[in-house]
Amino acid sequence: MTVFREVSEAWIASKEHCAGSLGRIQFWVDQFGPIPITEISEDDVDKALEALVARGKLKPGINGKPAKPTGEPLAGSTINRFISTLAGIFKYARRVRALPRSHTPPTRGIEKAPEPVDPDKYFRPEEVDDLVKVARVVDQKWRKMISTEPLAFTPPAPRSLSPCVSR
């Protein structure tokens, strides 16, 4: 029977992971390492998430020293990344047939933690007005801006659409 640690190590070897992802994988290996992957339940994942929340934020270790807890709580987005990492391990396990195709991963029913809305994700109305003014000046030659204004800047307009607005 394949244990969680073996599947995690195979997943790490199969593709390149960033340092943050490796840290999240290590957390899950510490929680479930010697357990057969088919025996990890939703309750086990819930207990591990409770331990993660209780641990809180970590301050990175320097010169090979281990990370230290800061005492601050984790953000919802951080918890969601840990859950996504675990789901990725189970998806990989199914792909390499370490799990049967009919296996339901223990991450299936977990609700996402709430994340704060990014205030810089969408243009504010005053930014849209400034952007339209700039576009009209730039568009003196072709005069195409008039027809695209209502389409491009109907709120909410994603910031990713324009390189003109400073952040």
Structural domain boundaries of the chain? 4-95, 125-161
- Which pLDDT does position 44 carry in this prediction? 95
Query: How high is the mean pLDDT of the chain?
Result: 84
- CA triple 28-34-39, angle to 5 deg: 85
- Least confident range of 19-28, 83-92, 116-125: 116-125
pLDDT at residue 87 greater than cutoff 90: yes
Which has the higher per-residue pLDDT, 30 or 153?
A: 30
pLDDT at residue 153 greater than cutoff 90: no
Residue 124 binned pLDDT confidence (cut-offs 50, 70, 90): confident
CB environment 55-93: b (16+ within 10 A), e (fewer) = eeeeeeeeeeeeeeeeeeebeeebbbbbbebbbbbbebb
- Which pLDDT does position 100 carry in this prediction? 92
pLDDT at residue 79 greater than cutoff 60: yes
Q: How much is the pTM? A: 0.70
- Which pLDDT does position 167 carry in this prediction? 47
